[in-house]
Structure 1
Amino acid sequence: MTTVTGYIGRFAPSPSGPLHAGSLVAALASFLDARVHGGRWLLRIEDIDETRTVAGAADDIIDTLAALDMPSDGPVLVQSRRKDRYQLARDRLGALAYPCGCSRKEIADSRVGTASDGAALYPGTCRHGLAPGKVARTLRLRVPDAGQAGELVRFDDRWLGRQSQHLATDVGDFVLQRADGFWAYQLAVVVDDAEQGVTDVVRGADLLDSTARQIYLQGQLDYPTPRYLHLPLLMNEVGEKFSKQNGAQALDLARPLEELQRAAGFLGLETQAARDREAFWTLALAGWNARFGPRP
């Protein structure tokens, strides 16, 4: 595994609406982690799924973060402008990436197991070529068979501790390019993290299940593997992840200090004594440094 040096963090929201309290938690944690490590914090707009993009949302996100004292330390990367980079990565994968003609219904009907995300485990139907009459729908990445070297992926999460996942039995061959032609999140995020030089990924625990796939893909592309820290998720009153899809409201920028303090409180940081944003950042940085800062 390639060693990474010089801290670079990132926040990578999807422009499907304005920032809300749940996304602010991730933004704040990743920003604090970059600052206590003396590193850079980059912003990436993850709009590879252009069907979910809301006009003006990307600019609103950038402006909101700046209003909360969290501007990007470099140019903002936009995924929808980088399709040629994802194609180049796909070309480097060679025969490991193969066309698949199976629909979701066909995969469900031939269920051989359940993936860790609850979906039907892909049975490998097209691994050795498309059946006669089949037309390619997606592009998949071959993972090692159960028991083979590389099939078990282990990593240390800075919040959750030691993690592991069996790619063959927990995930199966996964999608790199979707049936609608869009590149899949797993490929795009791996390419972007590598090309932005990201050394540390701080994000929500809803993406924990994706990490082993991304580490495996990094290895196939000879990319460095960042350190990971997966945060607990802010939930709504009925126990659902706080998200735009579940009706999360935009942040109230008329009360920026209160919004920042709520996010910090969810992360276990004591900042309520702050009477202005300067004092808030002093307290928040000290609290994060005590828990996750550099160690001798």
Structure 2
Amino acid sequence: MNARPLTIITGGNRGLGYELSHQLFKIHHHDILLTARDINKAREAATRISSGVNNGNSIRTAQLDVSSSESILRFVSDELDPLLASLAQQGNGQSLVTLVNNAGIYGQGWRETLVTNVVGPGLLSRKFLEILPQTLKGRIVNMTSGLGNAANLPSTLLRQLEAQPPKSPEEIVKWAGNWEQDETGHANPYNLSKHLLNYMTELHAKEGHGRAIAVIAVDPGWVQTDMGGQGAPGTIQQGVDRMLAQVLADEHESMKRSGKVFGDGGTCYDWKRH
């Protein structure tokens, strides 16, 4: 008999990350590893989520700042690697381990935005792919945005990307630094970060294919969170529903979706279209 699915959610202490954690734990019977930059906020969120729920699920917390490579590597070595190794040693296997790269920022500077929204998730995903034991199934779900579609970026930037797209987090840092120096007045850093995250999704999907590890990007839409604001047209539940459609998909369907971006109604869209 398979164990319950485990879902790891970055930035799970508020907004979409919190509500996703809450619903997976309470309704869908997932074990949860909830991370936040502030461990106390992660613990407070976990306490609220688990209050009054006695379904046998577990929720644990960890400190993780996705804008810091040191924090990511410490999280991997101290929390993630031992947890996955323990699950593998249980013998009956974990039905599925899903990493949800939810944490992100909007309205900040170029480097901070690119590092938090692209480089951090890229490094964490790479480590997840490297350390996931062969006996466990895996999945990665990246939080993207329709603002990252090619139509929302300047043509000069797109030509550069199409000619030589970044192939690693390190290349993204270097490329973004060069672009910032020359062209910052012509592109929004958040839009660019989500466009590059979609590239990263494609890259990691290719790496995960041999092990049947799906890597998917989901656009939750503009919804009423602290980031989206209360004037957003969508509700937080509508955003969570889009995320759940990918997190809860069966293995066969998830592999068919790997490397793609999904939005409203679970439909795939072409984020490279100008």
Q: Could you tell me the TM-score, scaled by structure 1's length?
A: 0.33
Whose radius of gyration is greater, 1 or 2?
1
Question: Whose helix proportion is higher, 1 or 2?
Answer: 2
Higher RCO (Cα < 8 Å, 6 or more apart):
1
Report the TM-score, using the length of structure 2 for normalisation: 0.35
